[in-house]
Amino acid sequence: MSQLFSLLSASTLAVLVVLLMPARAAGQLPLDVDPAAAPDEPMYYITERLATVYRDPAGEKPYFRLRLQDPVWVEYTQGRMVRVRSEGGLRGYLPRSAVSNVWVRVSKTTKQVYVYRGTDLYKRYAADFGYNGFADKERRGSTATPDHWRTPEGVFYIARKNPRSRYYKAFVLNYPTARDARRGLQEGLISQREYERIKQADLNISMPPMNTRLGGWIEIHGDGTGEQTNWTQGCVAIENQFIDEMWSLVSEGTPVLIEK
């Protein structure tokens, strides 16, 4: 049994189904796999805002386009290109850099960041968390209310890679999500207009408003201590050398699961 299924609980696996829609990682598929061995479930997703799929492996005959996070089946490689099949059943060729099956799992209990390729655990890093690291985030924290400096839980994606973060480098997550916005609207924390803007950001796979009473700028960033302490204002911090390792592995749109 894969390391993923031995690490995750049944409830987390249920969440994972949501996490990997569209990036449904059902298993590790090498890029040189035989087409006949391709699985029924897509394990790869598009890593470009708009990726052109070509009819030929030379990349000279444009065929159709796919968007960021669209799921694809990778059938095999041919040189620098991969043969893919879309959800609609169309087949064509993409540069290898345009697809990925990498996703990130963050555990507040073990205080670790896990990087997976499909269902295979690839890397793990000790992590620091928010001042109140065990509760789910509900609203913006401050020096007056440090209890709300919490690391949020749920399904996210990397909305932006920031190479010049205050904390070395950072992967900015799409918190608050549409789910957070629904709760915020019901509790009177945000306006209808703010709710609509956050919802639209989710649909566009883009940065949501970060200045509402729900808080924002939740990141996986550098300057971590490696000692698994609680000092951030809700972010996840790992050591700089590990942020450098992750930098080439993840992209905008990479799924991130944060769990208790």
Domain boundary among 51, 81, 100: 100
Look at residue 13 and tell me if it is in a domain.
Answer: no
68 and 158 part of one domain: no
Residue pair 124/4 in contact (Cβ under 8 Å)? The answer is no
210 and 94 part of one domain: no
For residue 66, count CB atoms less than 10 angstroms from its CB and return exposed for 0-12, middle for 13-18, buried for 19 or more.
Answer: buried
Residue pair 172/206 in contact (Cβ under 8 Å)? The answer is no
What whole-number distance in Å separates Cα of residue 260 and Cα of residue 240?
24
Tens-digit pLDDT profile for residues 80-103: 999 999 999 999 999 999 999 999
Look at residue 212 and tell me if it is in a domain.
Answer: yes
What whole-number distance in Å separates Cα of residue 53 and Cα of residue 190?
41
55 and 173 part of one domain: no
What whole-number distance in Å separates Cα of residue 133 and Cα of residue 119?
27
90 and 139 part of one domain: no
Q: Is 11 helix (H, G, I), strand (E, B) or coil?
A: helix
Look at residue 170 and tell me if it is in a domain.
Answer: yes
Look at residue 155 and tell me if it is in a domain.
Answer: yes
Tell whether omega for the bond before 146 is within 30 degrees of 0, i.e. cis: no
Tens-digit pLDDT profile for residues 58-69: 999 999 999 999
How many independent structural domains does the chain possess?
2
Domain containing residue 248: 128-255
75 and 186 part of one domain: no
Q: pTM here? A: 0.83
Look at residue 96 and tell me if it is in a domain.
Answer: yes
Q: pLDDT tens for the chain, 260 residues: list them.
A: 233 333 443 333 333 443 444 433 333 333 333 334 334 556 799 999 999 999 999 999 999 999 999 999 999 998 899 999 999 999 999 999 999 999 999 999 999 999 999 889 999 999 999 998 789 999 899 989 998 999 999 999 999 999 999 999 999 999 999 999 999 999 999 999 999 999 999 999 999 999 999 999 999 999 999 999 999 999 999 999 999 999 999 999 999 999 99
182 and 250 part of one domain: yes
- H or E element at residue 14: helix 10-19
146 and 96 part of one domain: no
132 and 249 part of one domain: yes
